[in-house]
Each structure stands twice: as C-alpha cells, then as structure tokens.
Chain A
C-alpha cells in the first residue's frame, strides 16, 4: 500500500528553523516527484517545493532561499528544511507524491500533515 507519513511540525519563533520529514512506504521516493504542499489559515493550497527523480528541485517564490528540500534514499524519506521562518509560513504542511497524466502533474498520495506555527 502506498503511504506517506509526515512529521516534525511544531511552534517556532520568527527567524527560527524547523525540519519536516516524510517517510514513504509502498514506493521509492527517489523514483518519484515528491512535494511539500501547505495550507495556511484562511488560505488555499500552495505547492512550496518539489524534488525530482533526477535530484533537481523547485521552490515557490514565497520560500526560495529559505527552504531546502532533500531526500535520503536509504531511508526512503524526504525532508524540508525551513530556515528564517516567518509568521506567514504558519500552515499545515503536507508531503505529497506527484504523478503525471499526459504531462500534467497532480498529487495522488498525501501525508496526514504537519502543523507549523511561527509565532513569538
């Protein structure tokens, strides 16, 4: 069964750091496009980062230069290192596997979410 499990959320002060983890089972993260999608309070879904099978990465403008996505193939786990956090980064962060249909991306498996609260 395909499954992803998020962890690592918490309360952090502005300017602080946090690392999220996403443990996958039933498939290999290194062969898939793995993403972090967040849902902020009163906001819609936003894809903030993706790591491609070849190791290339994508970041939304809102997090570029502050967030880093990576993976540990031996642990079949994806990470999101979040530095210099801002109050507007407060959200539930979901790890999601991206799939493609006719070249268009969509997300077919989601973790349960990790709550990140940035507040003083």
Chain B
C-alpha cells in the first residue's frame, strides 16, 4: 500500500474552513484514499473516502488531484469539537487482504 505524508499539526479558527493536506505520490490505480479522525484516545472515526472523484458528505469534502498524488480534506466550518488527529490512509481494494496502514496523522487544533 502507498505511503502517505501529512503535516504533524495545524491550527484553524472556529467557523473557518480547515484544509488538511495529504501527499500520496506512490498511489496506484486501484487504491482508495480514506480519512479518519481520532478524538483523544477514542476509536478512530471514519470521515470520508474516494478513488478519483471529489466526494462530499455531511461531515467533510475530499478533493483528490487529477494525478491522484495528493488530496485535501476540507471541514467547511470547523468547530471546537473538530479538534482531533486526522489520518489519511491509502489502501487498495483487495479481496485477498485487509491491511490498512495508519501514519501519525495531523493534529488539528481548532481555536475560538
């Protein structure tokens, strides 16, 4: 599975959009991009995932570049409750393995 690179930390003002980047330059054609977040030591929470098209759900938007080598998670109106560690993961769709590799993520601090 491709490796991802994320900044270790970011700040965002409450009410503003939080844009979290992820680099996955070695991604292959059948690999999906997933985003999770972890608040304190709770279980990671799924946010969104995509293959090559941009995706949006009630939590966030995922923008994947045309060459698929990077992506951005957008939280459109960050709140204090969005303070968490955000993980970008790349994983191929395979019926022979369920390996997921988490990196160290981006610690997002939302301030008032």
Pairing of A with B: no
Residues of A bordering B, CB below 8 Å: none
